[in-house]
Amino acid sequence: MEKKSNITIKSIVAIGIGAALFFVAGRFIALPSPVPNTTMNIQYGILSVFSIIFGPFVGVLAGFIGHTLIDLTWGSPWWSWIIASAVFGLIVGLVKKKIDIENGVFGKKEIILFNVTQVIAHAICWIVIASVLDVVIYQEAFSKLVMQSLTAWALNSVTTGVVGTALLFAYAKTRTKAGSLQKED
């Protein structure tokens, strides 16, 4: 029996659009924070939407490509944070199966699930993955990383909560709920 590929034209287009929006939002709509090399971003709200709608494969690649493009325009890639962005897309994308967004389902339960997931995903990505990789790859001082990672976690959690929730809620409203269409006699 032949295995069906998860790579479709739809997912390739979603990766391209997701990466482009991640890049534009991260490069041109980033607000500085009081902590050096840490900004307030909305691109994780956008990435979370692509991850929930299209799944973890799209989330990983849109995050990885989008973050790489941002870093390349600033000089050189910072691989620890690029990898963290990809992992964020993966973790949030894994929740796709529990949120029936395609059938217009995004109520209180789904909003709570989404936000608990994204806050935990940001903690894993910025407090653990980015920090450990910064030490391993770049020999960064751990004391410097504490403020950066906690700031990135807090700011990204808030902006993803606001932007991601609003965009997913709006998207769900455009979908037809299963069983809502009835045949006219």
Would you say residue 51 lies in a domain?
yes
d(CA 45, CA 161): 7
R_g of the chain computed on alpha carbons: 17
**Average pLDDT of the chain, as a whole number:** 92
* pTM assigned to the model: 0.90
10 Å CB burial of residue 173 (0-12, 13-18, 19+) is: exposed
Percent of the chain with pLDDT over 90: 81
Would you say residue 179 lies in a domain?
no
Would you say residue 1 lies in a domain?
no
Would you say residue 78 lies in a domain?
yes
Type of residue found at 159: T
Range of the domain at 31: 9-174
Residues 91-103 have a mean pLDDT of: 96
Residue 77: give its domain's CATH number.
1.10.1760.20
Would you say residue 167 lies in a domain?
yes
Number of structural domains, the chain? 1
Are 91 and 117 in contact by the 8 Å Cβ rule? The answer is yes
Residues 103-128 have a mean pLDDT of: 97
Would you say residue 183 lies in a domain?
no
Would you say residue 76 lies in a domain?
yes
Would you say residue 110 lies in a domain?
yes
d(CA 123, CA 2): 39
pLDDT tens for each residue of 57-70: 999 999 999 999 99
Residues 133-161 have a mean pLDDT of: 93
